[in-house]
Amino acid sequence: MSLIEHLQTHISDFICKEAELPEDEIDLHMPLGALGVGSLVGTRLIGNLEEHFGVRLSPTLVFEHPNISELAAAIAEIASQANREEPAHV
């Protein structure tokens, strides 16, 4: 499973739990707002992603990337950049 796919699954699972939606109602291209993600759930989602993936994220990402597919791709890019910037452990 690629990082983007892992992120998509993680985000989908989080939204299912928070919004009490069945998995079959999650569409990766549906607006997050239509899935019940407002500012409070969005902030919790970003915190959860930071903790789970070990990367610092802006809370505005959920508004800048308004669906699961776009959000996962943006976070994967941020994670990739963060990994390139870390010094090698010798």
Q: Residue 14 is part of a domain; what is its CATH number?
A: 1.10.1200.10
Of 58, 4, 69, the C-alpha closest to 31 is: 69
* Contact (CB, 8 A) for 15 and 37: yes
Phi, psi torsion values for 26, nearest 5 degrees: -90, 125
Residue 90 lies in a domain: no
What pTM does this model have?
0.89
How many structural domains are present in the chain? 1
Domain that holds residue 61: 3-85
Q: Following DSSP, what letter does each residue of 11-65 receive, concatenated?
A: HHHHHHHHHT--GGG--TTSBGGGGT--HHHHHHHHHHHHHHHT----TTHHHHS
Q: Give 31 or 82, the one with higher predicted confidence.
A: 31
- Asked whether the predicted pLDDT for residue 78 surpasses 60, the reply is yes
Q: Beta partners for 67?
A: 31
Digit-coded pLDDT (tens) for 4-41: 999 999 999 999 999 999 999 999 999 999 999 999 99
Q: Using N-to-C axis directions, what is the helix angle for 39-53 and 3-19, rounded to 10°?
A: 140
85 pLDDT band (50/70/90 cuts)?
low
